[in-house]
Amino acid sequence: MFPTAAAITAQSRFFADGPVSARSERGHGPWGTYHMAGNAREWVWNFAGGDAVALGSGWPEYASNFARVYTADPMSRLPDHGLRLMRTLDESQIDNTLLEPIRLLRDSAFANREPLSDDAFEAMRFQFTTPRMAPAEVTVNQVEESTLWIAEEIVLKFAAEETTTLYIVRPKAHDRPLQPIVYSGVGDCCFMKRPNRDVLEQLQIAEFIVNSGRALVMPIWAGGYERYERYPTEASAAADRERRIPLQWQHDLSATIDYLESRPDMDPERIGYFGVSRGASFAGAINLAIEERIDAAVLASGGAWIHSPLHPMIDLINYAPRITIPVLMLSGRYDHIYPYEQSQKRVFNLLGTPADKKAQIAYDTGHFTMPRNRVAADVTDWFDRHLGRMRE
């Protein structure tokens, strides 16, 4: 992300119910323009293949999408797409090379990356086998409340100043232990440092989990919110981060489940996982092959990353064949971050889950722009089938 990303996205329009006037002076860019990040995705002159290119994010989506490149049929009339007109000064000249078609990385042949051999994976898995330690101190605070739910912040302090923070949003009314659904969300957590409590914004996506009678459990995964760290520019440091951070994610997940097992209001025998975008591709998703206490999972708009990783420990391709629990994948056919055929379907086919315990639902949408009521119904139905219904 560029240095002004935090300032621009904070004032831009995301996860809204529609666009606003282009004249509203919000989301200002460094050159006097407005709404460069959100509000409407904008067509540009260039083509990629047979499709037109559009830049930025739109009002139905989340902030970190604004740095992505999208393509679509130029004759389509997508509700979150628009265009920006520009008048050039008389003396201005546009370099014609800027108008040429572009070739996107996602059009490269990355789908044939093969998973590690069993022996190589077992050697990698061994690095995750660290002893589970009880926290030295546990702090629980209620931080937010609605008419239907209570949100708690839990801080688990371990030795050597190591801390795991998680948020639990649970329904007020329940007559039996709750099924905890561990959640890992979109990339908004990880492109700048933000307060941990901002994770509660993810209720815009996942509040239906609580409405279904379950507890939504949101760890602050390594690399996100107050644990944000700038991605290294030096190759060896970047490779070391890709090796190290999955181990931290495993500690976050293991510590979270250990804590859930200590609470009488949680059912440790029926734990689910819900990952969206980044959470369906990296943090949490890859750990489904390591952590044995999760009973069912939903991966929405996730898949194999189009870039070749610097280290195999961060590549979902290596973990997918070792994931054997029931998995539902929710995919957009026109997803430009995790392309449907090359990325999402590739991961689905690699899953080690038996054929009758895995499913993929493809929507005619882009990257996590599925109708929210459909997502809520499909996810709730999956957890009802594989964890048991919470509400009759």
In angstroms, what CA-CA distances link 68 with 58, 65, 102?
11, 6, 14
Cβ–Cβ under 8 Å, residues 303 and 280: yes
Tell me: do 275 and 381 sit in the same domain: yes
Q: What are phi and psi of 380, to 5 degrees?
A: -60, -45
Q: What is the CA radius of gyration of the chain?
A: 21
In which domain, by residue range, is 212 found?
118-387
Tell me: do 241 and 309 sit in the same domain: yes
Distance of CA 67 to the CA centre of its chain: 15
Domain assignment present for residue 367? The answer is: yes
Segments of the chain assigned E as strands: 41-48, 51-55, 69-72, 81-83, 137-145, 149-157, 163-171, 180-184, 215-219, 272-276, 296-300, 327-332, 358-363
Tell me: do 184 and 316 sit in the same domain: yes
| Predicted pLDDT of residue 391 | 66
Tell me: do 351 and 241 sit in the same domain: yes
Mean pLDDT for back-to-back runs of 10 residues, the chain (392 residues): 58 77 72 79 86 82 72 81 79 80 69 87 90 87 94 91 92 93 86 86 94 97 86 79 90 95 96 95 93 97 86 93 98 87 93 98 86 95 96 62
| Predicted pLDDT of residue 197 | 92
| Predicted pLDDT of residue 331 | 96
Tell me: do 128 and 83 sit in the same domain: no
Tell me: do 184 and 274 sit in the same domain: yes
Among residues 79, 103, 127, which one ends one of the domains? 103
Distance of CA 78 to the CA centre of its chain: 23
| Predicted pLDDT of residue 367 | 82
Strands 215-219 and 163-171: antiparallel
Among residues 103, 132, 167, which one ends one of the domains? 103
